[in-house]
Amino acid sequence: MPDARDSILTKLRKTRDVHPLTPPASDFAPIEAKRWADEERLPRIRRLMEAVHTEFIDATEADWPAVLREFLAQEGVGSLVYAPETEAGKQLVEGWGVASPASNSPSPPRGEGRGEGDASHDSPEGPAAHPPHPNPLPGGERGRTPAPTLIPYDRPLEDLKPQLFESIEAGLTATRGAIAETGSLILWPTAEEPRTLSLVPHIHIALLRTDALYDTFLQAMRDQGWAQAMPTNVLLVSGPSKTADIEQTLAYGVHGPKRLIVLVVHP
């Protein structure tokens, strides 16, 4: 088989060299003309992605692990798989036990709030301390629920497969940024952070930093130097997995995660 393959490739190369082709000049002007102001990119990305059921939460570089922990606890998520060798994975572990700004506030009643609220609360030590929550969630006083268990992706897929497909509820990945034109995240799977983390768990948490927002796909490829090196698999993701193949009935989570949650990290 290798001899046959080499023979075919040799013939193709000879033909190519005998009849060289000059590719036509590309006109990227229509794409390059698509630009948004710095302050417009994130709202546009958010609007386009929320229209297809993507969810957003906001945090800062210093507190995003704690904000994520509190959000997942409120959502009742019990486990989160992550890539321990990546920068995001190391930050997650480092900041997982740090109290978030909202950690001393009582949980809202069932069905209110999903971690994005901006209302402030009185300190429990102050004169306006809150009474016990009238309708606590499972896990203790005032609706406190245990923090999700962190599960490192640090072993072969075969060893982790039973957990991934049967019990792990959420997966965390970084992104290479987002595109304002289409409202899409750029996922860049690697050996340390494979596609499995964003594909198999029912909830995909995508880390998006606000210094990596691009007007177009072309701008992202140019600014990041994709021509020099690309992985075998790059993905543009705009929302959770959905399909309407069966009787044109829209269903989520058939071919991937049911929920896509973008954790926006501000400076």
241 in Cβ contact with 254 (< 8 Å): yes
Q: Which residues contact 185 (CB under 8 A, 6 or more apart)?
A: 175, 177, 178, 206, 208, 236, 237, 238, 262
Query: Could you say which DSSP state residue 22 is in?
Result: -
At 100 the pLDDT is 62
At 70 the pLDDT is 96
Look at the alpha carbons of 67, 73, 74, 77 in this order and tell me if their dihedral is positive or negative: positive
What whole-number distance in Å separates Cα of residue 26 and Cα of residue 64?
Answer: 42
Per-residue burial over 31-43, b if 16 or more Cβ lie within 10 Å, else e, is eeeeebeeeebbe
CA angle 197/203/208 to nearest 5° reads 70
pLDDT tens digit sequence for 68-91: 999 999 999 999 999 999 999 999
Identify the architecture of domain 35-100+135-266 in CATH.
3-Layer(aba) Sandwich (3.40)
At 172 the pLDDT is 98
At 126 the pLDDT is 39
At 193 the pLDDT is 96
Exposed (0-12), middle (13-18) or buried (19+): which is 242, by Cβ within 10 Å? middle
At 125 the pLDDT is 37
Whole-model pTM over 0.85: no
What whole-number distance in Å separates Cα of residue 111 and Cα of residue 127?
Answer: 28
pLDDT tens digit sequence for 129-156: 333 333 333 333 444 578 899 999 999 9
At 113 the pLDDT is 37
What whole-number distance in Å separates Cα of residue 200 and Cα of residue 202?
Answer: 6
Q: Which residues pair with 206 in a beta bridge?
A: 173, 262
> In the chain, where are the structural domains located?
35-100+135-266
Residues of the chain below pLDDT 50: 104-143
At 67 the pLDDT is 97
